Amino acid sequence: MKATFIFLSIFIVCCVAGPRYPVILVPGDGGSQLEAKLNKTTAPHYLCQKHTSSYESIWLNLEELLPEVIDCFVDNMRLRYDKDKHSTYNAPGVDLKTHDFGGTSAVEWLDPNPVTHISSSIQYFFPIVKDLVSLGYVRGKSVRGAPFDFRKAPNELGEFYENYKKLIEETYRINNNSKVALVAHSMGNPVTLYFLNKQPQEWKDQYIQSFITIAGVWGGAVKTLRLMSSGDDLGVVIVNPLKVRPEQRAMPSTAFLMPTDQFWQPSEVLVQTEKRNYTVMDYKDFFNDMNYTDGYNLRLDTEKLIHEVTPPGVPVHCLHGLGVHTPAALVFPPGGFPDTYPKTVVGDGDGTVNKRSLLGCLRWSGKQKYPVKHKVFKGAEHMSILSLPEISKYIVSVITGKR
């Protein structure tokens, strides 16, 4: 009788019970929907709204990227820098926030407008959530999102981190005291590493089942130097890089994700101009020569946050693509620094993050009590990796305890 009972309970745990370990999704740079409420006295263009009665989607609302409207977008998104306080603040009259913390709506799609959801190019965590739901996971209960203001770096995400910790503890509790799997993409990985580095080992032992890192930026990415210098067209031909540059270079997250001297040698040229070359050791001059000294302050504020890439102290599954042309150095034409779009020297990576940075997780092997598993998805690009069926399958194997 007793034997039968044990057999039955094992059977139930193994195969019938739907969700095993609940999941929290942590988005990357640009991966959380943002909403803004406006009460502005000035705007760069007569087309720009100055007042709204409620919070309205600002990122990513594809309409906001249309040629003239983009000036309004940039003015609303651009952070201001206070160099005495070493912190950033919103444009005057702009109140900006994420929404649905703990739910998944702010991280499944980049654009909240359902009309755009026929295009797979702006889906974000949706394919993964869809697969988990088909296994019995429930949005907001056993699969949850931790959106944050991705313009900021960990030094300014204090409130987010408090909520993130509460979310993990609550998710554990409402799922029958089951440990939680953290699934992060891109910048969500260093943001989570910073968090885990600050938690006591006993807390991590109790609450974290695994840290599934997808396309993690462990040592920065050369692409950020383009956001800082010429501005980046976001791969959208209609976007004029110079127009979006003020917003891109003012984000502490851009500075946070610059290549680090733990991953690049002082001999490697990252930015080449007619007058001089810049390496990972030359950021001060790089910003001075562009007359953008706030940029260097932002870099100083953020460069030490995960600099040593300290092991997270939890079971790790490090997943990423490779074999995609990725910016490895920028070459500006004579007289063209920094306002001309540079030529890109490409190297290996996932199209956004350089190979050496993606491989940063391997430094933890043997340096923590939990295993670090690694899997490369050949040819998988930085964003579209989230739509790969193999990624969903891998996640499912981890959260059902099979891997």
Ligand X SMILES: *[C@@H]1O[C@H](CO)[C@@H](O)[C@H](O)[C@H]1NC(C)=O
Give me the active site residues, please: 186, 350, 382
Burial of 46 per CB tally in 10 Å (0-12, 13-18, 19+): exposed
Buried b (16+ CB within 10 A) or exposed e, 211-237: bbbbbbbbbbbbbbbbbbbbbbbeeee
User: Distance between CA atoms of 273 and 52, rounded to whole angstroms?
Assistant: 44
Q: Which is nearer to ligand X, 78 or 179 (CB)?
A: 179
Which are the contacts of 42, defined by CB distance < 8 A and separation ≥ 6?
50
Of the pair 18, 44, the CB lying nearest ligand X is at: 18
Our CB check for ligand X shows the closer of 290 and 305 to be 290
Least distance to ligand X from the beta carbon of 50, Å? Answer: 10
Question: Least distance from C-beta 166 to ligand X, angstroms?
Answer: 22
CB-nearer residue toward ligand X: 339 or 348: 339
For binding to ligand X (CB under 6 A), which residues are involved?
17, 39, 41, 176, 269, 272, 276-277, 290-291
CA separation for the pair 238, 260 (Å, rounded): 31
Rounded to the nearest whole angstrom, what is the least distance from the CB of residue 41 to ligand X in the complex?
6
Distance between alpha carbon 292 and the CA centroid of its chain, in Å? 24
Contacts of 163 (CB under 8 A, 6+ apart): 101, 146
Half-sphere exposure of 131 (CA within 13 A, CB side): 17
Residue-wise DSSP of 278-323? E-TT-HHHHHHHTT-HHHHHHHHHHTTSSTT----SS-EEEEEEES
> What does the chain come to in residues?
403
Shortest CB 91 distance to ligand X, Å: 13
| 8 vs 236 by CB, closer to ligand X | 8
